[in-house]
């Protein structure tokens, strides 16, 4: 599959390497949900910079990945939405709730650190 998934501490980093077919997007959801359980990951970063199109299916799948991961105990942050893709998404009026986005990997990790710390405090 054209997604590289790396493990970094308590987080999973999924880098999409090229445009994905719908089947591959669905595979990515299964795989991330499985890996969150296997590694007890607290957070996921999905790098979508290689996606030249985010249409209604991809947007819906991203939401589904976020919600599935949340039920498995992990927060998700999307990074790298291309400028033209962002314009297309707005013009399309795609519903992006409850996606959390960050500009790059560093910002995503900072955001995840904050989100997962807050969860830990809530739990304690």
Chain positions contacting another protein, by CB under 8 A: 19-23, 52-57, 60, 82-85, 87-88, 91-95
Toward another protein, which CB reaches closer, 7 or 60? Answer: 60
- Cβ atoms within 10 Å of 87's Cβ, excluding its own: 10
Q: How far is the CB of 106 from another protein (least distance, A)?
A: 26
- Token pair, residue 14, equals 């999924």
CA–CA distance, 17 with 51 (Å, rounded to integer): 8
Tell how strand 75-79 and strand 43-47 pair up. parallel
Q: How far is the CB of 39 from another protein (least distance, A)?
A: 29
Toward another protein, which CB reaches closer, 22 or 34? Answer: 22
Q: How far is the CB of 101 from another protein (least distance, A)?
A: 17
- Token pair, residue 124, equals 């304690």
Q: How far is the CB of 4 from another protein (least distance, A)?
A: 18
Q: Which residues share a beta bridge with 46?
A: 14, 78
Contact present, 44 and 11 (Cβ < 8 Å) = yes
Toward another protein, which CB reaches closer, 4 or 53? Answer: 53
Toward another protein, which CB reaches closer, 8 or 18? Answer: 18
């Amino acid at each position: 599959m054209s997604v590289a998934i790396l493990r970094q501490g308590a987080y999973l980093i999924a880098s999409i390497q090229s445009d994905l077919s719908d089947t591959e997007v669905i595979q990515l959801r299964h795989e991330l949900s499985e890996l969150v359980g296997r590694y007890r990951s607290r957070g996921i970063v999905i790098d979508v910079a290689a996606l030249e199109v985010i249409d209604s299916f991809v947007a819906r799948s991203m939401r589904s990945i976020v919600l599935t991961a949340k039920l498995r105990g992990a927060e998700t942050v999307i990074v790298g939405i291309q400028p033209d893709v962002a314009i297309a998404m707005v013009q399309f009026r795609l519903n992006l709730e409850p996606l959390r986005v960050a500009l790059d990997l560093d910002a995503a990790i900072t955001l995840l650190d904050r989100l997962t710390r807050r969860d830990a405090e809530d739990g304690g």
